[in-house]
Structure 1
């Protein structure tokens, strides 16, 4: 097949602000920012470099109004520590009707785009990856 995913595009009222949140959250680099489009890439030499698609934040006039149809699931080494860190960066917990019996936590970035912080994997499962 001659196709590959180049980037995930995320609509944003303020692409620079939203991209700065995600750059800090993921430890990725802003490689392009013209005010209308901002591109994030994993750092060179990281396990994600050259494997994961870029994140492209695009300026749009309308605000977010419904639950995302596509979102990121993030796997932390320590779920509670990462949730606290993400909240300090500007993320909030979001209720989309998921209830409280799940092992993941739904959060929203500063513009309300949902993402999930998954459970911490036990050491034995982390070693197997």
Structure 2
């Protein structure tokens, strides 16, 4: 048995504070105090686990997602509409193997999924 646990989900980005604000709005959690364009977190002050951590990097790998989050909700249409309202781009809808989800892109182009739970 291991005592390893996920402490942070880290996202490489160009503007940490802006991307943290997007995910804070999407998840209805606060951006933690003192965000900057270089570093920001979401959820630490609320005791969330894992904490989302955003770090500015000078050169993101082109064509590669910095991270991929799978989020679940009982209200898929409402969650997708909320994400789009916060600045996400709708990419595609899927229904495979009995699972339904929508793929979106955040304001920096990172894809993420919202699935029906």
Q: TM-score, normalised by structure 2?
A: 0.81
Residue 125 of structure 1: aligned partner: none
Structure 2: 5+ residue stretches without partners: none
Q: Which consecutive unaligned segments of at least 5 residues does structure 1 have?
A: 122-129
Counterpart of 1:20? 21
Structure 1 vs Structure 2 CA RMSD: 2.3
Contact 1:28 1:43 (8 Å CA) reproduced: no
In the alignment, which residue of structure 2 is the partner of 1:74?
71
Pick aligned residue for 1:55 from 31, 38, 52 = 52
Q: CA deviation at 1:2?
A: 3.9
Which structure shows the bigger proportion of residues in strand conformation? Answer: 2
Q: Which residue number in structure 1 is paired with residue 82 of structure 2? A: 85
Q: Which residue of 2 aligns with 1:110?
A: 107
Equivalent-residue separation in structure 2 for 1:7 and 1:94 (angstroms): 26
* Higher alpha-carbon Rg: 1
Q: State TM-score, norm by structure 1.
A: 0.74
Deviations 1:28-84 (Å, cap 9, x if unpaired)?
11114133110111663xxxx45x210000001224622437411111121111111
How many residue pairs match? The answer is 112
Superposed displacement of residue 113, structure 1: 1.1
